[in-house]
Amino acid sequence: MAEEKKVWFITGSSTGFGKEMAKQALERGHKVAATARDVSTLSDLSEQYPESVKAITLDVTKQSDIENSIKTAIEAFGGIDVLVNNAGYGLGGGIEEPSIEQIRAQYETNLFGVINMMREVLPHFRDRKSGHVLNVSSVVGLVSWPSIGYYSSTKFAMEALSEALAGEVEHLGIKVTIVEPGGFRTDFAGRSFVQPANRIEDYLSSERIDNIGEFDGAQPGDPVKAIKAIIDVVESENPPLRLPLGEDAVTAIDEKLEAVRKNVDEMRDVAINTKVEEDQAESAGN
């Protein structure tokens, strides 16, 4: 049986994972609403697939853009089957180092942008009793590291919302998948990574941030292979809630799970011994 062709709505389609995802989805015969703040970055896709791609201006921090882009996509293709929340960027620095303006901007794009996109598309999915929400998180959505705490926290929050949403919409035929990439050769560690407004020597963050910059272009992951895996999952009958990508991501997640288990085991007796004792419960009831 041939795979049903879908309409993909992808945020942040100008570069990196978003651009490659749009390209591969189109190559497989799907239709794509490709979005970017500057739609000129999508001209190559529009020229190559004039009947299958709709280039749409979208800044996920602007509610009017979100509403207009979704309306435009539905008018162009008759509906949306896959929402890909991919737009985002990194912010470096210890907890004291970025300015409050930088922190708010990070949350507006990486978290509230995702929230507002989902809230706008979910009524459409509920009406159709189908749809797939694909939220592009990161290995740091499960494993937080020093000097990228704010970026990591936006991904932790995205994962919590995604888990909750998966339970809320499963009976409606709507699927949710969280993508957790490790290091891939996109521009995340370069153009898409923002330096903190301040540097505080005590935090040793300068060295860590410099290491991220030096990693740019040397990441172990191939974006083409990552996107193939993502699209294969979307096309599968039973997509997983989580899709880690990259050996580095799998290793880091394994180490985190082991550390959490060790912590829980060490504190198990302390935790359990906080329950109400039977004699206390009986006296409270008298």
Own/partner long-range contacts of 274-281 (Cβ < 8 Å, ≥24 apart): none
Phi, psi of 178 (to 5 degrees): -105, 125
- Give the C-alpha separation, 257 to 120, whole Å: 34
Q: Decide if 52 contacts 22 (C-beta within 8 A).
A: no
**Active-site hit among 137, 147, 152, 206:** 137
**Active-site hit among 155, 162, 175, 205:** 155
User: Given phi > 0 = left and psi -120 to 50 = alpha, else beta, which region is 129?
Assistant: left
Q: Is 151 a catalytic residue?
A: yes
Q: Is 49 a catalytic residue?
A: no
Q: Is 64 a catalytic residue?
A: no
- Please tell me whether residue 30 adopts helix, strand or coil conformation: coil
- Give the C-alpha separation, 60 to 62, whole Å: 5
**Active-site hit among 107, 151, 152, 153:** 151
Bridge partner list, 83: 9, 133
The residues carrying an active-site annotation are 137, 151, 155
